[in-house]
Amino acid sequence: MGLTVKLLANDLSIHGQFYDLGKFHEALDRVMVIRKTVQQHGRELYCHRNFVNVQVTREMRLHQAIQKLTTDRRRSVMQWLTRHEPFWEDERLHGEDDWLECKGNIVTDTAMGEAAYRCLDEIGTSLVSLIPSSWDFSPAVVTWYKRIEVVNYRDVRVLEAALHAAPTQITSWNVLADMVRARCTQLTFSSDCFNPLQGYPLVFKAAQDILSCLKTLDRFKICFDSEGRRTAEGHELYTQYFTGERARFSDSSDTEKSNFRSEITFPHPDSLGESLFCPWHGKINYHPPLRIHFSWPVTAAEPLYVVYVGPKVTRR
C-alpha cells in the first residue's frame, strides 16, 4: 500500500517500554533517519506538541531522555519536536467526540486516530512508529463506524520504496482539477468551475482541503437506497459535515442570498441558457477564503453539480 500525503509520528509507540536508555536512543536515531529521508522527498514527519512528554522509561519522559544525547543529536531532535510547524494538531480533522478504537484501545486524540480519520476521508496519511514497541505491525486497523486500515512504517527502506512509488503530488490548480474529475465520478463539474483559482498561488493544504471536500460530496451522492432514501452512512455524513456551527458545508445566509444573488447564480452545466442558484457551499480556510458552490438538495435522481471552486464571492 502506497503513501500519498502526510506522515505522522505515532505517539503511542513510546509507552514506557524502554528499560535501557541506549536502546531508546537507537530507536530515536532510526526515526530521525526516516525523517531525513522523508524531507529528501519534499515531505515532513509531523508530531504532536505534547510528543516531548511521552513516557520513555519508568523514570524518564522524552524531553528528559533527549537531554542525555550528544549536543548535535539533541539539537536536531529538539528542533523537530518543539520548533517545527505546523504540528499535526494544527490541521486536526477528527473531533474529541469521535470514538476511534484500535486493538481495543481508544485512539481518539492520538496520531493513530487522526491518521485513521484522514484515511477514511481519503486523505492518504500514514504513521511512523518507534521499535521495539507494541506497534510493530502494519496496517493498524482502526474502527469508527467502519474498519480503517492505516499503514504504519517502522523501516526506512520500506518507507523509501513507498515514497518513490507515491502518486504525483498536486503541483498546480490544473493538476488538482484533473485529479478531482478523475476521482469524483459521482459529481458533475461545470467546464469552468476551477477557473477562479487561476492567478492564485498554489497552497498544498488548500488544494488538499478542496480535494477532501469534493471526495466527501462524492461519497454523499451515492448514499441512497433503491427507493431514493438516504442511507445510514448518508445520515452520518450529513450530521458530521452539513450540520453544526463548524460544518464543512452550509447554506448561505439570507442576507448573502439577497445581496449576492447574482454572484452565487451560475450557468447550468447541462442546459445552455439556464442558470443554477447555488448558495450551498464547502468552506476552505485559506487566505483569501475559498468556497466550493454546488447544487442542493442532493438526491439520488438528480446530478450533483459543482459549479464554482475559488475565492469566496459573498464578501466585499
pLDDT at position 168 is: 59
The position carrying cell 483569501 is: 288
The one-letter amino acid code at 278 reads C
Q: Which residue has the higher pLDDT, 199 or 40?
A: 199
pLDDT at position 5 is: 61
The count of other CB atoms within 10 Å of the CB of residue 251 is 13
C-alpha to C-alpha distances, 279 to 213, 268, 305, nearest whole angstrom? 16, 14, 12
pLDDT at position 256 is: 94
pLDDT at position 1 is: 42
3 state DSSP class of 94: coil
Q: Over the chain, what is the mean pLDDT?
A: 90
Tens digits of residue pLDDT in 281-312 = 999 988 789 999 999 999 999 999 999 999 99
Tens digits of residue pLDDT in 145-196 = 889 999 999 999 999 898 877 765 677 898 889 888 888 889 999 999 999 9
The helix/strand count (H/E) of the chain reads as 9, 15
Domain definitions of the chain by residue range = 6-165, 173-311
The count of other CB atoms within 10 Å of the CB of residue 161 is 13
Sheet holding 140-143, edge to edge: 105-106, 101-102, 140-143, 147-150
User: For 108-112, what is the mean pLDDT?
Assistant: 95
C-alpha to C-alpha distances, 228 to 224, 239, 268, nearest whole angstrom? 5, 18, 24
Burial annotation 50-82 (CB, 10 A radius, 16+ → b, else e): ebbebebbeebebbebbeebeeeeeebbeebbe
Using 50, 70 and 90 to split pLDDT, how confident is the model at 106?
A: very high
Query: pTM higher than 0.75, yes or no?
Result: no
pLDDT at position 2 is: 46
